[in-house]
Chain A
């Protein structure tokens, strides 16, 4: 059992207000992912939970105990740093045993726990090596091993996979997910890679400039982003945004202008918007239909074609608005072709002038 309750924490660096009134409840044994663009304060929040950074106001409680004034070692947490932060002069074994030695565990117990962790992470063969004799992925596993030997209540990961190549990243992602199942610990994971967030999280917390933009399950954030920022941040490639305005609205939906030439009714409403307001229409590349029959469609010219094998991304332009469209992998469309693009109004999002989502 180890839930974490964060209440209205604030952090200033000098006069810069970095974390603004953030409140967050993290369930015991959950896998929570903090995402957000660079500099939004993800690491800072993690470091405040770890006790490496002072909290200017508000409280952080682990398992019901307020830990604001506890030293890192009293919080029963482990942290994996982006730079690995291994002890360079110690062997892999000693790196993993350091914390246990400080806890004055018996030699046998240390042996046993280190080997157990090494086995899970498949680094048993490297135990006598120094960190500099390991590859990046191996180092990363040692860093994780160092965290798990101590059997903490809470694991904190700060972009642990960002230094790895794509293949290794996928592999480690799976291993971390397995580890979470095996260890029954609460894990908080920081990343700016939204694929990692989507695939690993029980709960995603999207941060934007020191405030929580939205939190919820991966599919909830994908299907119902509560604002423009989350809509644009979750999903890859990004959601397409088209600036438009409301033509009319009723309780069933909102009718908006489409490139001045046609219109479309989106089955979403907002109490604060009315006819004539500027709004943003959001639709994901995978929800745009190419050369298929749909209620509203238009012609566009293709500028760039990106073939990924499993799918093809087409970069288009319509009335000055750039659009990305996903279509099937064996598509024959070439640069310069004109395609017919349409979409399903059910899969569209509308954001008002203060960037909040229609519901």
Chain B
């Protein structure tokens, strides 16, 4: 029964949109034909007709929740009473909030930079060896794994057993084989953040690598050869020719990963659950929203902070995109 109603809903939806587009298209053609509206507006009106449904859907499912979140951030934990800026004042004074902001900043600085850097360097190196494609596939593989899955894999690397037990964590096994003390890596503050970031870098390098490999193909072979004849070393060619050539791609990848990192949640949730000072905004938000009865006010403040973080990056991206089109 359920399946049948699902299918009929989908069909009705499709049917509705077909009717919608046909009808409005027809009306517009009619209007234009009898010169009710000048021909000049035809294109812009037609694009409005076609964009409107998508825009409405986006508006309902993205913009509406945004406004709702902002509204809730001014209300109490049950979303009933208006309490002004109280939730915000709480956040500013809260230690965990500050720690999260710092951690987020650390993630933002380190992960996109290193992923882009590794992706670029590896893309370049794998282009020169016969087993490059195999190497690339292996490095890309983590992209296919969910963040939680990645967390499980990396648990085996950072795992710590009591000092007398056999160490099954890869890192500790190495440390012990050098005759050093095994460590509970994920509990060492500050450093444990870096260990968590390593996971994200491990995943995102694959993405950067694939996109850079494709972009590298776009560099004319003769330009590189000209540089070689001009006397440039391989490193110089990389630095003075390849990097400027890939500038746009580097920026795109860097932004993609930055936005992704701003929302980082799963890895921390799976590995430390924010303990030992590894808290980031998304995890803190989750904690306040859904744990211990939930506090929609404070949760919304945190969600709002994440959104504020994304906006400048998106705005800058749009600005750059427009500039690119105009040149």
Contact = CB atoms under 8 A, between A and B. Distances in A.
A90 B230 CA distance: 14
Main secondary structure on A side of the interface with B? loop
A85 B222 CA distance: 6
A85 B247 contact: no
Contact of A86 (B223, B231, B236): B223
Nearest to B232: A102
A81 B232 CA distance: 17
Interface residues of A, number: 24
A146 B225 contact: no
Which range holds the interface residue count of chain B? 10 to 19
B226 interface: yes
Contact of A99 (B222, B230, B244): B230
A52 B231 contact: no
B321 interface: no
A39 to B, nearest CB: 18
A88 B245 contact: yes
A150 B220 contact: no
Contact of A146 (B222, B226, B240, B244): B226
B226 A102 contact: no
B245 A99 contact: no
A126 interface: no
Contacts of A77: 229
B70 interface: no
Given A81-B222, A85-B220, A85-B222, A98 B227 contact: yes
19 contacts: A50-B229, A52-B229, A72-B229, A73-B228, A77-B229, A79-B225, A79-B229, A85-B223, A87-B223, A87-B240, A88-B223, A89-B245, A89-B247, A90-B244, A98-B227, A99-B230, A102-B230, A102-B236, A103-B231
Q: Which 7 residue pairs spanning A and B have beta carbons closest together?
A: A99-B230, A73-B231, A85-B222, A89-B244, A85-B226, A102-B231, A81-B222
Given A85-B223, A98-B240, A102-B236, 15 more contacts: A50-B225, A73-B228, A73-B229, A73-B230, A73-B231, A79-B225, A83-B220, A83-B222, A85-B225, A86-B223, A87-B223, A89-B247, A102-B230, A102-B232, A146-B230
Interface of A: 50-52, 71-73, 77-79, 81-83, 85-90, 98-99, 102-103, 146, 150
